[in-house]
Amino acid sequence: MKIHRLALLSCASIFALISCGSNGKKDFTSIIFKDEEIGYDGKPHTITPTGVPSFAHVTYDDGKEEPPSYTDVNQYSISIKVTADGYNDYLKTATLTIKEGSLYDVIIFEDVTVPYDGQPHTIVAEGIPEGATIKYTPCGDSEDKPPYYTTANKMGYPITLDVDAKGYEHYTRTPKLFIIP
């Protein structure tokens, strides 16, 4: 019993952030590796641990040195193993959830007011992700082109835009084009 107490006191006096396991090896206690949830943005994401001592070695899924990264909407399990001489292995799995992103945070498609000048005017959306399917209603030369108007209209011409893009929720918005005489 006295030997066991001495071992615990010895561990506590060396590092405040570690403890001794029942096998005489120390446990990692400062490591944080937790689930994360993010919105889709088309960029790769991963989960990495924090609080890993500099003398420890981290490997990911099946002994890989680099953490896996993911881009598509889905849930992904990422496992880590942290090792060091004199320490019990630290094993943990966390879940990375990539949920659908919001095109409302990406696309700019708002009311426009212009003075009447006899020239054609329209509202053009900005920030549409590459590869997205777009549809303007009413449409211009084709469904993916906005209509142009030349006649003054204080009440505004409503133009609806529908967008579907990989990894994003459906987007629809109807701003107005005001041509003021």
Task: Write out pLDDT tens, residues 95-149.
Answer: 999 999 999 999 999 999 999 999 999 999 999 999 999 999 999 888 999 999 9
Task: Give pTM, 2 decimals.
Answer: 0.68
Q: Where in the chain is the domain with CATH 2.60.40.10?
A: 30-99
Comparing CA positions, the residue from 17, 96, 22 lying closest to residue 56 is: 17
- The yes/no answer on whether domain 30-99 falls in CATH 2.60.40.10 is yes
Q: What DSSP designation does 148 have?
A: -
Contacts of 96 (CB under 8 A, 6+ apart): 35, 36, 37, 38, 45, 46, 47, 70, 75, 76, 78
CATH topology of domain 103-180: Immunoglobulin-like (2.60.40)
30-80 per-position pLDDT tens digit: 999 999 999 998 899 999 999 999 999 999 998 899 999 999 999 999 999
